[in-house]
Structure 1
Amino acid sequence: MKFTVDLVAKSTARLGSLSEFARIPEAVLETPLLLLHTRGAAVPHLSYDLLQMVTNEQQVLQMPLVTLVDHAKNVKAFGKGIAEFAGLKEYLNYVVVQDSGTATPEGYHEKSSISLWTRGGRKLVDAQMYISCMEALKPDFFQAMVDGDTTSSSSFKRVKKSVDATVKFTGICAELKKKSEVIKDTPMLACITGGYNIKERLRCIAEMKEFGVAGFVIEGFHTNGESATNLSWEDMEPVLIETLGSLPENLPRVFHGPVTPVLLIKLISKGIDVFDATFPWLVAERGGALVFPNSLSQGDTTVTETLPSVKKVTLDVQDEKKEKQGNKEELVVVDRVYELDVKDKMYFSDTKPLLEGCSCYSCRKYSRSYVHHLLSTSELQGPILLMMHNLYHYINFFKSIRSAIREDQLEALLEKIEHFVSSRRN
């Protein structure tokens, strides 16, 4: 895998490309890049045919090991890797450790292993097992094993432990990878942890540079799921600037998690190259349709509909400690300013599309009232139509971002979205 930086804007946003993949050598992917999030090797709610209706362009599928580890033996027996096993061989695939769209319980990693929270419960995975899974899945590139479940409230002891463990895991993975006949040439991305402690992040970077990795994943700012939508830019920015300033410029930087569109543009402006599509999926899961302006050319973006109420939702986590405490629910505030709550009764007879001017399949064929009906009656087609719209909207958002960087208009795109957000709140 080769990464090329073609342009660096005044803001330090980078325009580049990923190419020279061993399995699909003709693939060239522009960055900033959006990874299509999957669960169990499939984009949520979308069959292969429906995904083709959203986009027929070359894409990279983000495949969380936590949703695949129980099937690794079957994939290994199949012998041709997860892409062909899932019937998606024309798509590149990138295997990651955790599902960045689902909250990861904190504090369950051990000295020589990490915890994966599968449908069957907690599973401990050490470096040997992790590399064995990579050999079975045969990804086009993969994330090194990581202990990254830290937040702004994590103690120094916990942050230091995450760096020590991550460096140790990466070193073992690098050695096992070299000895493997199956994945010795497969690119591996190292993880930069350290929470919100600049010194620990710089220590992590210094340790990682000796492993000869193909890129870096910026971990440790959140614990996945809705926690990523509530990140504070003021807290992150100084840590991120120091972190990115110490990384090699010729390697890609990846940030996982469902960050909001405003935060995403700010991360891009500092030099992050790759993100995932967990945000549009989470919005679809709660019955929302994305309506924020996804390009500078989009016309009037005034939304007159009522802003969905800011509410608390239960985090989708499995936590042994909570089970012992009587299975208490953990709640997080979800800000829905970027979306319409199509479950709201106000859309009962609304004949407009989900987003006027959108050319996705859902908006061309169906009305808000019909999608509202599907959601109200728990029909399977409801989440399908929302996912098709949200993913289409977000893919075009990334095209607009790349165009804005090329034309030095990224700040203007950010201002347009921020104006939309403030107008909705008011």
Structure 2
Amino acid sequence: MGYVMSVVNIYVQHPEEGKVVAKSSARLGSLSEFTRIPEVVLETPLLLLHTRGAAVPHLSHDLLQMVSTGNHILQMPLVTLVDHTKNVKAFGKGIADFSGSKEYLNYVPIQDSGTATPEGYHEKNSISLWTRGGRKVVDPQTYMTCIEALKPDMFQAILDGDTTSSSSVKRVKRSVDDTVKFAGICADLKEKSEILKDTPMLVCITGGYNIKERLRCITELKGLDAAGYVLEGFHTNGESATNLSWDDMEPVLTETLGQLPANLPRVFHGPVTPTILLKLVSKGVDIFDATFPWLVAERGGALVFPNSLTKGNAYVTETLPSLKSSTLIAPDGKDGSSENENGKEKIVDRVYEIYLKDRLYFNDTRPLMEGCSCYCCRKYSRSYVHHLTTISELQGPILLMMHNLHHYINFFRSIHLAIKEDQLEALQSTLEEFVTSRR
């Protein structure tokens, strides 16, 4: 069973009829036959390596090779590249060659799912991108021109995903109307483009937490030649994704996923917590991104949650220091984060990590995580990383990012194995026990 194009076959294999895997709808599958690197086969559930400006944050090409030598797809948000598309177009060979990462496949979404997207900036025929140079208004035609310049291996159709659990019915309906309209324009321009006509395009399912609107979005997008679906509109990126309520999401996801074609991949962007991620996998979501390990590294944290069924995390007994989240202010002075209304700041949940800036680690000679085989854990101690982070030495976030990304890649290997061996529920239980113990 699979999705077949002249360019790419995207397969999502299901268990034999009548057999249930891990008492859930978790899926195993593969992405293959991309034009630029046709020999690469990537198994799902899949982790996209998050980049900013086409590079994994804090890691050079050589350092990334020290983390993983496997095949990966690089997630390259347009918001971090839009200021450079003219140079990439002049270069003529696409973003893969331009960025020196041609051995990796790449996928271009619109927003950086690791960074909060300011809310409330709505235009009738365009969306807003918040770049280093300020706000840029982009319509579908301009967007597709940028995509043509970048020549990605896969890209996301433009959308209006500015909804949360508190969005009004009017805002939710508008997001669906605009998303469907934008997707139709992108599909038409893609078909007419000699550069993009064979490039897989993922369309977006919006509608906030309104089941009726999400099902309407699916219905109105069915005529398009979609290579897969991105589940958008549950959060506004950044830390809003780490605070998702599963009780609010679950009924919406169940209805939405039940109406999507079984043979196409489903993508969920954002730094969701490992607990929510496993629940999304169990519901049948196939592809995620590595924004969570980056977000943790940015705040001086090292991931220590159990990333396999092997238990060995009882040594993590530290108390959980709280840390206020930063407020994102838009260039015009408007608060860009709904999580910081009325001057109140959210508290970051550090249950999956240890905070290396804490003086607790001043003389701690242990590695970041016992049993971890990453470069940082093999070479350096917690006390050394504590020293680097407290004096803001550049090597600090480099070592944390190497550890966190290594940890998360292994987490996905464990997820794949758990589904295959009917152990996903056991992996969820192991993680939940750890979270409970730390709380």
Quickly name the TM-score band, shorter chain normalised: over 0.9
Does residue 1:343 correspond to 2:357, yes or no?
yes
Mapped partners of 2:330, 2:74: distance in 1: 25
Offset, 1:3? 1.7
The corresponding residue for 1:315 is 327
Mapped partners of 2:413, 2:343: distance in 1: 39
Mapped partners of 1:380, 1:138: distance in 2: 33
The corresponding residue for 2:430 is 416
C-alpha deviations, 1:45-86, integer Å up to 9, x for none? 000000000000000000100000000000000000001100
Does residue 1:73 correspond to 2:80, yes or no?
no
Does residue 1:334 correspond to 2:348, yes or no?
yes
Secondary structure of the equivalent of 2:14?
A: strand
Equivalent residue in structure 1 for 2:238, among 221, 225, 228: 225
The corresponding residue for 2:3 is none
Question: Is the Cα–Cα contact under 8 Å of residues 328 and 335 in structure 2 kept in the other structure?
Answer: no
Secondary structure of the equivalent of 1:189?
A: strand
Q: Which runs of 4+ in 1 moved over 4 A?
A: 327-330
C-alpha deviations, 1:86-106, integer Å up to 9, x for none? 000000000000000000011
> 1:11-90 maps to which residues of 2 (within 5 A)?
11-90=24-103
The corresponding residue for 2:13 is 6
The corresponding residue for 1:360 is 374
Offset, 1:169? 0.4
Secondary structure of the equivalent of 1:313?
A: coil
Mapped partners of 2:328, 2:396: distance in 1: 21
Q: Which stretch of structure 1 is more off in the superposition, 314-323 or 114-123?
A: 314-323
Question: Is the Cα–Cα contact under 8 Å of residues 159 and 195 in structure 1 kept in the other structure?
Answer: yes
Does residue 1:302 correspond to 2:309, yes or no?
no
> 1:121-270 maps to which residues of 2 (within 5 A)?
121-270=134-283
Question: Is the Cα–Cα contact under 8 Å of residues 101 and 224 in structure 1 kept in the other structure?
Answer: yes
Offset, 1:5? 2.2
TM-score in terms of structure 1 length:
0.97
Question: Is the Cα–Cα contact under 8 Å of residues 327 and 335 in structure 2 kept in the other structure?
Answer: no
The corresponding residue for 1:107 is 120
Offset, 1:333? 2.5
Letter in structure 2 aligned against 1:406 = K
Mapped partners of 1:38, 1:138: distance in 2: 16
Question: Is the Cα–Cα contact under 8 Å of residues 226 and 332 in structure 1 kept in the other structure?
Answer: no
Mapped partners of 1:367, 1:117: distance in 2: 38
Question: Is the Cα–Cα contact under 8 Å of residues 20 and 26 in structure 1 kept in the other structure?
Answer: yes
Mapped partners of 2:289, 2:365: distance in 1: 32
Mapped partners of 1:303, 1:250: distance in 2: 43
The corresponding residue for 1:378 is 392
C-alpha deviations, 1:253-283, integer Å up to 9, x for none? 0000000000000000000000000000000
Mapped partners of 2:253, 2:83: distance in 1: 35
What runs of 5+ residues in structure 1 fail to find an aligned partner?
A: none
Question: Is the Cα–Cα contact under 8 Å of residues 75 and 82 in structure 1 kept in the other structure?
Answer: yes
Offset, 1:122? 0.4
Secondary structure of the equivalent of 2:324?
A: strand
Offset, 1:311? 3.0
> Aligned in 2, Cα 1:168/1:72: closer, same or farther, shift over 3 Å?
same
> 1:392-407 maps to which residues of 2 (within 5 A)?
392-407=406-421
Offset, 1:302? 1.2
Offset, 1:153? 0.2
Q: Percent identity?
A: 73
Offset, 1:317? 4.8
Aligned length: 422
Mapped partners of 1:282, 1:172: distance in 2: 34
Mapped partners of 1:365, 1:296: distance in 2: 25
Secondary structure of the equivalent of 1:395?
A: helix
Mapped partners of 1:19, 1:329: distance in 2: 48
Question: Is the Cα–Cα contact under 8 Å of residues 329 and 335 in structure 2 kept in the other structure?
Answer: no
Question: Is the Cα–Cα contact under 8 Å of residues 289 and 341 in structure 1 kept in the other structure?
Answer: yes
C-alpha deviations, 1:141-170, integer Å up to 9, x for none? 000001001000000000000000000000
Secondary structure of the equivalent of 1:289?
A: strand
Mapped partners of 2:108, 2:26: distance in 1: 25
Offset, 1:306? 2.0
Query: What's the C-alpha RMSD, in Å, of the aligned pairs?
Result: 1.4
The corresponding residue for 2:290 is 277
Mapped partners of 2:100, 2:218: distance in 1: 37
Mapped partners of 2:171, 2:13: distance in 1: 38
Question: Is the Cα–Cα contact under 8 Å of residues 98 and 104 in structure 1 kept in the other structure?
Answer: yes
TM-score in terms of structure 2 length:
0.94
Secondary structure of the equivalent of 1:334?
A: coil
